[in-house]
Chain A
Amino acid sequence: MGSHAERKQSFISKYVFSKDHKVIGIQFLLTSFVSLLIGGALAMAIRWQLAYPWQEVPIIGKWLFPESGGTVTPEFYATLVTMHGTVMIFFVIIPFLVGAFGNFLIPLQIGARDMAFPTLNMLSYWFYVPAFIVAMTGFFVEGNAAAAGWTSYPPLSVINPQGQDFWLISILIVGSSSLMGAVNYVTTIVNMRAPGLGFFRLPMTIWALLITAILILIATPVLTAAGIMLLFDRTMGTCFFIPKGLVISGEPYAHAGGGQPLLWQHLFWFYSHPAVYIMILPAMGIASDIISTFSRKPLFGYRPMVYSICAIAGLGCIVWGHHMFQSGMNPVLGMTFMTSTMLIALPSAIKTFNWLGTLWGGKIHFTSAMCNALAFVSMFVIGGLSGIFMAATNVDIYIHDTYFIVGHIHYVLFGGSMFAIFAGIYYWFPKMFGRAMNEFWGKVHFVLTFIFFNGTFFVFHILGVGGMMRRIADATQYTYLQHLQPLNVFASISSFGLGLVQVIFVLNFFSSLFFGKRAEANHWKANTLEWADTPSPPPHGNFDVIPTVYRGPYEYSSPLVKEDWLPQSRKLAETAGAGRH
């Protein structure tokens, strides 16, 4: 081996249909930016409508909604919430965390030259792109894109216009993309680790990605099956989810019977609850790496951290019923799911305490990456704690389907996953592109995002406690919600600020590509293989010589060396290795 010298490649095979995991990772990253822009724009429209119901959307309203004189229509509002959720979950957070970081980091951090199946890897990206295009095509068909919520509960999702078909097909394709990626990740991590790199010497990011990939393999086929059933219900009249006697707007539904709407909810949440962990576990891994690096201190409780990830994944597969406490499911099942749900808070708590333990006694460098990782920890705490309210079945009766839930999920997915994504981008940008992002603008972006994020989403909890239902287009319709309207206005103005300050990030990202400070090979003086053993950016084939690993990834401030870092691959002459791992 070792003959990794740059081969002559055409532009297309090098940058478009590339089989190089680094290029594929960057492709996922850049495409996810586009999705993020679209998902964010949808969110802005939602917030405009909630703050100023049925008023003309400024600037673009007349162009977007010529029919209604520039205002959002009720049916388009349903499309907005549906597509915002769909885009953000399936086309932003999962591709960022699993697609971009997963592809870029796995071979580099385990000391492999590439993924186990490079062609499958390329296909995984080239399934993701058409899936996104199909999802977006929905906006241009009769009756607009899907409007049954990202959860697509039948019968609504069966009787809605054809945009729903595009949604389903898109989900089937993106699910296949996920599966291809996951097979690759598991195979690569299990089989292709560098010599000496035992499982308990893996960086937390890799551990998280491994468990995430296993979760994807367990859960995604169920969603795929359910999606095909729903598609059959829509196109062939199979009625898997349609009970007898359905009457739509006074007209009996043709050949209704034999189906059960709750079946979809079980199948959907069997995927979608683990999907929440698919979206948070890699974020936890990234945060662990970054916090340890910039505290210049070993990760506190490495093994408990690993066990926590495994526990989250295990419990994550048996808690889906907590989305269905009010669905009409047997209340006895509610008790069961409540207990497992209460327990899943535990590993998350353990992880939080260990992050605090890592910070304790450290030498903390407040880089942009570190600031975002710390924001991840503090915001994830809120998202985790608010989850306990929903786990309590009797409190859930009241707050289920209210803005409390919306607030909770945004603290987990924006406060958690998105801050970790920002952190990861600041952290690995030098390795990806050979230049570092601007630290000053990174911090400006961080501070503003942090403020506007809380201004937007903390308010959601109060709206939820006030009883405001999710997915309603106009809260002023209800007597008991009218006095909450100032809060909606406040949240909306914050959200516009939140959207606006992302421009800083985008500008910083793209200007740093060309004008950023040149990055050193080990830009952050970190221990893991991608920093210690290969230049920035790494060449085709990643490593000159495959490194041998002598210790765990977090041996910062080790007394064995005078620097405060000790790469995994450095052989120490006097001892046979150091550290416990």
Chain B
Amino acid sequence: MFNCLRIRFSVPLISSLLLAVSFSEAGIVSGTATFDGTVPTMKAIKMDSDPYCALQHTQSLFKETVIVGENGSLKNVFVYVKSSEELDAMIENGEITAPTAPVVMDQKGCHYEPHVFGIMVGQPLEIRNSDQTLHNVHAMPKQGGAFNIGMPGKPEPWSINKAFKVKEIMVPIKCDVHSWMSSFAGVLDHPFYSVTDAQGKFEIKDLPPGDYVIEAWHEKLGTSEQTVTVADGAPVAISFVFTKPAAEASEA
């Protein structure tokens, strides 16, 4: 449906875009995600089911479902380019390849670091186990390519490299040994994504000029999208505001 909103580009403009591989004149889409409403309290995670985990923390870890900071800033929102004809063409022409540098996901203190991350199809995901206890990394994409690997605790941190095969928003990753552990991977066929930090800030860099549908995804609060136009080198600022989902609102 967003196709109808989009301004059609002329043929010469598209070809000039295709030449802009170096992204020298690329733009930046940045902004914040915020939460509007009563801030929920996150429960402390009970780790007594594996005493090793409990021993790794002098203070409780809290669930990371909804983390709201000052002024309603919302952490762990995955912001990414959902659709764009320019990008599709570039992907089709093989101009975007997955980086060989891995994305690192660490398991430390029975907790995934990071909780939300983006990764490209085929890009190595270095899964590290810094704990001396077993974790199994159970990635459950719906589109295929699920994996479930056991990573026993060894005296030294160690890692295994995996990769996702199909793009998917979002692939849940969990540990069946420690059921509180959860992480989400945004698997894309391009590198234009960002995850909001504690201040709720995100920044998608190096975008070639063009029209983009940007979506923000939150594990509990749902998704929301906006269309932006990036001109040569000009930064674009947008913001996303999330509210309590309807189901929870009716409960309250």
Q: Are A74 and B174 in contact (CB under 8 A)?
A: no
Are the CB atoms of B154 and A74 closer together than 8 Å? no
A75, B174: Cα distance in complex, Å: 16
- Chain B nearest CB from A77 CB (Å) reads 9
- Given contacts A249-B140, A250-B174, whether A74 and B134 have CB atoms under 8 Å apart is yes
**Within residues 44 to 85 of chain A, which ones have a CB less than 8 A from any CB in chain B?**
53-54, 67-69, 71, 73-75
Instruction: Give A250 to B150 CA distance when docked, in angstroms.
Output: 18
A563 proximal to B (CB < 8 A):
no
A186 to B180 Cα, complex, angstroms: 60
Asked if A574 CB lies within 8 Å of chain B CBs, one says no
Contacts A68-B160, A249-B140, A250-B174; is A73 near B150 (CB within 8 Å)? yes
Of B148, B150, B152, B161, most buried by chain A (CB within 10 Å of CB) is B152
Question: For chain B residues 144-178, which have a beta carbon within 8 Å of chain A?
Answer: 148-154, 158, 160-161, 174, 176
User: B149–A73 contact, CB under 8 A?
Assistant: yes
User: Main SS of the interface on chain B?
Assistant: strand
- Tell whether A71 pairs with B154 under 8 Å between CB atoms, given A249-B138, A251-B140: yes
Nearest CB in chain A to that of B134: its residue = A74
Q: How far is the CB of A49 from chain B (nearest CB, A)?
A: 10
What residues on A are CB-neighbors of B161 within 8 Å? 67
Chain B residues positioned under 8 Å from A68 (CB to CB): 151, 158, 160
Chain A residues with CB under 8 Å of B149's CB are 73, 75
**In the bound complex, CA of A67 to CA of B158 (Å):** 10
- Chain B residue, CB-CB nearest to A73: B150
> Are B152 and A474 closer than 8 Å at their CB atoms?
yes
Residue-wise, chain A 69-108 has the 8 Å CB interface mask toward B (1 for contact) of: 1010111000000000000000000000000000000000
For A75, the chain B residues whose CB sits under 8 A away are 148-150
Does B136 sit at the interface, judged by CB under 8 A? yes
A449–B134 alpha-carbon span in the complex (Å): 37
- CB under 8 Å from chain B, chain A span 468-513: 473-474
**Are B176 and A249 in touch, CB under 8 angstroms?**
yes
B140: A residues at CB distance < 8 A? 249, 251
**A211 vs B52: C-alpha distance in the bound complex, in angstroms?**
55
B138 to chain A, nearest CB (A): 6
Residue-by-residue, is A242-259 near B (CB-CB < 8 Å gives 1, otherwise 0)?
A: 000000011100000000
Among candidates A74, A249, A251, residue contacting B150 with C-beta atoms closer than 8 Å: A74
Interface residues of B in 90-145 (CB under 8 A from A): 134, 136, 138, 140
Residues of chain B within 8 A of A67, CB atoms compared:
160-161
Minimum C-beta distance from A166 to chain B (A) = 18
Residues A74 and B136 in contact, CB atoms below 8 Å apart: yes
- Shortest CB-to-CB span from B162 to chain A, Å, is 9
**In the complex, A67 Cα to B138 Cα: how many Å?**
16
Mark interface residues in B11-27 (1 if CB within 8 Å of A CB, else 0).
00000000000000000
A54 to B153, CA, bound (A): 8
Beyond A53-B152, A474-B152, is A69–B176 a contact (Cβ under 8 Å)?
no
Contact with A along B203-239 (1 / 0, CB 8 A): 0000000000000000000000000000000000000
A53 to B132, CA, bound (A): 13
Chain A residue with Cβ nearest B133: A477
A74 to B176, CA, bound (A): 13
Indicate if the CB atoms of B160 and A54 lie closer than 8 Å.
no
Distance of A439 Cα from B47 Cα, bound (Å)? 63
Min CB distance A50 to B, Å, is 13
Q: Which residues of A pack against B, CB within 8 Å? A: 53-54, 67-69, 71, 73-75, 249-251, 473-474
| 7 additional A-B residue pairs with CB within 8 Å, beyond A68-B151, A74-B136, A251-B140 | A53-B152, A73-B150, A73-B151, A74-B150, A75-B149, A75-B150, A249-B176
10 pairs, A vs B, C-beta closer than 8 Å: A68-B151, A71-B152, A73-B150, A73-B152, A75-B149, A75-B150, A249-B140, A249-B148, A249-B174, A473-B152
Q: Which 6 A-B residue pairs are closest in the complex by CB-CB distance?
A: A74-B150, A54-B152, A67-B160, A75-B150, A54-B154, A73-B150
